[in-house]
Amino acid sequence: MESSPIAALPGQPPGSRLAFAGDRQRHDEIAESLAALANAHGGALVISGGRGSQLAPLRDPAAAIELVLSAALACTPPLIIPLPQVVVYHDMPVVVVEVPAGLPYVYSVNGRYLRREGASNQPLSPAALHRLFSERADLGWERQVPPGATFTELDPDLIVAYARRVGPPAGDDPLALLARRGCLIDGAPTNAGFLLFGRDVAARFPHAEITLVRYRGREPADVFEREDICAPLPEAIRRAERWLNEHMRKGSRMVGLEREDWTQFPPGAVREALVNAVAHRDYTARGEGIRMTLFSDRLEVYSPGRLPGHVTLDNIRAERFSRNPALVQVLADLGLVERLGYGIDRMLRQLAAAGLPPATLRETAAGFLVILPGQPMAEELPGGVDTTAWRRMGLNDRQIAALLFVVEHQRITNRDLQEMYPDVSAETIRRDLSDLVSRGLLLKVGNKRATYYILK
């Protein structure tokens, strides 16, 4: 189904990953198709005004969406799905809802366990059901309500902002949206609700923190920079990404008279490693949080919890298994993570595009470790000067280019910098170099036409 755009699904025949239903079918029949897809490999359900795969325009698309969402809640446990979409196929409005692959639970409807096989929903045999329960965690931690939890412990501003981000498909009731997402049960916040929207995440989940550390060299040392973040997960991701972007090495090198910029790690690969650690860690493992450690040659990302379900180091690029479907769906609604979970694939592609070797993936005794290799030039001088500190000082591009020129050629003159920036006035060039002298970065030697500058 990954290769099929959602708009084209109504025109395809029913199969193991595609089911059809009419908007006048019974509530439990639609729930059975959703559960059967979830118990297999995921897929999509198309709702139209016709019968089965015989398409007809929907009379009321909004009512069809509500029918699907209520059918998802009728599954046991309630099925968390992306918001259904209205698709116009050959001038016919229909509704398409996707059922994610790799869900961690086994779903039933009125006590019946079904799985999608071929183009139909088939009952699971006792042996197949036992095997499926063995393969899937079925712990339901996200949906548990902590003792004494009350709605007042959630931040209403975060809830409103989330509903606004989802937009009209969420409806007019943010609390109903949170219930569909597994964040509220009978008005009380679940573990997932606290992690995503809690006023004080650290009060109930102090282990749900991200620790960020930067060492100057390849090994831990006494001198380092550190930040601990324990906040609602969307905010924690944004803050951690900002810290990593500020603290990873960035630099430039002169290729002839052209400046070539580089970053220690591809920012997209760093983001994938971060969001995957947050979305898929084992939050039942207390006593430790996520650790992201910057070294001069690598970034190490450790998350508590070994690989879930049937996922192994050998099949991790192809298999899908979501330990935390509620967390993943809300983070996907916010645009922070892809719902289908292809983060490892994207991370490896971004490393390859930057000319770097693949990441190292490793299971530890109690967790999962990802190691991203850094750009070799981040450790080399003068070809790969770390310009992070210069940028923090507020130096402009011309001044950074001037310092790089001095690193490579030992000195620079006004004329050298003027040739690099011919459209900039001589007075501006003079002020740039004079400012570098006043900041203590360059030393002025000689006077008048014989003046040149060296590193101080």
> Would you place residue 134 in the very low, low, confident or very high pLDDT band (cuts 50, 70, 90)?
confident
C-alpha dist (Å) from residue 408 to 94, 231, 249, 435, 442: 64, 44, 19, 20, 14
Say yes or no to pLDDT of 381 above 50.
no
Stated as kind and residue range, the H or E segment containing 399 is: helix 397-409
As a whole number, mean pLDDT of residues 414-441 equals 91
> Would you place residue 3 in the very low, low, confident or very high pLDDT band (cuts 50, 70, 90)?
very low
Say yes or no to pLDDT of 380 above 70.
no
What does pLDDT average to over the chain? 87
- Residue 261, Ramachandran bin (φ over 0: left; ψ between -120 and 50: alpha; else beta): beta
> Would you place residue 390 in the very low, low, confident or very high pLDDT band (cuts 50, 70, 90)?
confident
Q: Tell me 147's DSSP state.
A: T
As a whole number, mean pLDDT of residues 221-241 equals 94
As a whole number, mean pLDDT of residues 359-383 equals 81
Q: Report the C-alpha gap between 65 and 69 in whole angstroms.
A: 6
In terms of DSSP H, where are the helices of 229-362?
Answer: 233-247, 267-280, 325-333, 343-353
> Would you place residue 316 in the very low, low, confident or very high pLDDT band (cuts 50, 70, 90)?
confident
- What per-residue confidence (pLDDT) applies to 255? 58
As a whole number, mean pLDDT of residues 343-363 equals 90
- At residue 420, φ and ψ (nearest 5 deg) are -75, -30
Q: What is the pLDDT of residues 150-205, one digit of tens each?
A: 999 999 999 999 999 988 767 678 898 999 888 999 899 999 999 999 999 999 99
- What per-residue confidence (pLDDT) applies to 252? 66
> Would you place residue 319 in the very low, low, confident or very high pLDDT band (cuts 50, 70, 90)?
low
* Most confident by average pLDDT, 67-81, 156-170, 230-244: 230-244
Q: What is the pLDDT of residues 325-347, one digit of tens each?
A: 899 989 989 988 765 555 788 89
> Is the model more confident about 372 or about 322?
372
Amino acid at 122: Q
Residues 6+ apart with CB under 8 A from 127: none
CA-based torsion, 325, 331, 334, 338: positive or negative: negative
> Is the model more confident about 137 or about 415?
415
Helix (H, G, I), strand (E, B) or coil at 320: coil
> Is the model more confident about 337 or about 293?
293
Amino acid at 301: V
Q: Report the C-alpha gap between 149 and 190 in whole angstroms.
A: 8
| Residue 277, beta-bridge partner list | none
- Long-range CB contact pairs, 428-431, < 8 A, 24+: 428/398, 429/398
pTM: 0.70
List, as one string, the DSSP characters of 203-231: HH-TTS-EEEEEESSSS--S-EEEEEE-S
Q: Are 58 and 65 in contact (CB under 8 A)?
A: no
pLDDT exceeding 70 applies to what percent of the chain?
91
- What per-residue confidence (pLDDT) applies to 199? 95
Q: Report the C-alpha gap between 7 and 46 in whole angstroms.
A: 11
